[in-house]
Structure 1
Amino acid sequence: MSISTDTAKDGLLELLVQAANQHDFSLDITLNVNGAVITGTLISAKEYFTELSGMFEDGDEVAQALSEQLEQAGQAAESDDRSEASFIHMKETKVYCGDSKPTPSKGDILWRGKLNEVDGFFLGKIFDSKQ
């Protein structure tokens, strides 16, 4: 018996990511990644970079330069119609490790991860009943 070291992406998950990237589609989803549970809303790469860019636009010169570069990355992601996706982007994200409270516990958090690192997923978002 051998342990598989296959790093292939889940084809169905990649299809959902492609739909998000190519058609501005969003969807509540929960991922299993290396023992952690990551829950949030799947978004396009363009939306991810645009929202991330907005976090820097009111800062100093360095922050504004970062904001411009992130905005350009979003534009490039939108125009990139490759059939293969390598990353998944989420907003309103929470990360659960074990039985502890989610990290972060408050705020709208953007998350980006490698598709080939996702162990499993289900559609829908986990809501903390104490919120």
Structure 2
Amino acid sequence: MSDDVLAMYVKAANKHDFSLAITLNVNGALVTGTTISAQSYFKKVSENFQDGNDVAQSLSEQLQGASESAAKSSDEEANFIHLEEAQVYCGDSNPTPSKGKFLWRGKLSEVEGFFLGTIAKDK
């Protein structure tokens, strides 16, 4: 079972490209980032495979199809949350990944809690 408020944020991201800085508590870890739509998530992931071999290009095409499908089904129940610029914190250690911009996808039903805003990165 997922949190109705969190599901509302995800539906806003999926339907209206609403982005929100958020930190999620997932199985004892903190996952921090900015919400993006499922369509945007699949499109960005597909771009990672475009210049690869035949298998990578096939994956890219399938992910692009998932992006188009997600755009058409934005009114449906939200089951996953998608974040960009994501980092995962476990305890007091440095985040994973520590550098770069990463996408993250997780089940809403696995989120135990959340707060608005991201964890500040040490500079």
Question: TM-score if structure 2 supplies the norm length?
Answer: 0.97
Q: Which runs of 5+ in 1 are unaligned?
A: 1-7
Question: Match for residue 56 of structure 1?
Answer: 49
Question: Match for residue 35 of structure 2?
Answer: 42
What's the CA shift string for 1:82-129, capped at 9, x where partnerless? 431000000000000000000000111100000000000011111212
Return the alpha-carbon distance in structure 2 between the equivalents of residues 107 and 54 of structure 1: 16
Amino acid at match of 1:90: L
- Higher mean alpha-carbon deviation, 108-117 vs 78-87, is at 78-87
Cα RMSD, aligned residues only: 0.8
Question: Match for residue 127 of structure 1?
Answer: 120
Question: Match for residue 100 of structure 2?
Answer: 107
Q: 2:24 aligns with which of 18, 23, 31?
A: 31
Larger radius of gyration: 1
What percent identity do the matched residue pairs reach?
60
Question: TM-score if structure 1 supplies the norm length?
Answer: 0.92
Return the alpha-carbon distance in structure 2 between the equivalents of residues 81 and 90 of structure 1: 16
